[in-house]
Amino acid sequence: MKRLWASWRMKYISSADKQPGCAFCEALKKEDSAENLIVHRGKNSLIILNKYPYTSGHLMVAPLVHVANIEELDAETGNEIFQLITHSTTTLKMVYQPEGFNIGANLGQAAGAGIPGHLHFHIVPRWNGDTNYMSTIGEIRVIPEDIEVTYKRIKEQLQNSL
């Protein structure tokens, strides 16, 4: 049997259920940087990298206010979220040239929301053949780019397009 060591995961495993508060709200308390992964902060919402991405460039768009449900958003925030989802896909096309996208929200823990109390939308760039044996058989996800490099590339492109 072969083993893939991912010792960095222990920090996440041992602290995942112990972190106080909401990950989005905690990130919002800090200045936007590679540390908190916020690549853009709008008037009512933000674009943030997923700390545990499915693939390089996996972004999330979330309101600045801590709400769990779409119907809790005012129209201005909802419109800005949709605009930032659009900007995110445009940016990812320019940076990574994906062949498609998965865009969606998991509403509630039963639907798979990792942070069920704070509404957020995932934008995941996809390529033909990007789900290979490592994910399907080995239950391992291979991310080909360091998250700090991803942050820099996306932040730079967003600044040029927003």
Contact between 27 and 48 (Cβ < 8 Å): yes
Residue 104's beta-bridge partner residues? 122
> What is the dihedral angle through the alpha carbons of 13, 108, 120, 7, rounded to the nearest 10 degrees?
10
What are 10's two structure tokens?
């222990």
| Beta-sheet strands, E only, within the chain | 38-41, 45-49, 59-63, 100-104, 121-126
Choice among 40, 118, 120, 122 that is catalytic: 120
Instruction: Verify whether residue 40 is a known catalytic residue.
Output: no
Q: Which residue, chain included where needed, has tokens 């730079």?
A: 156
Supply the residues annotated as catalytic. Answer: 120
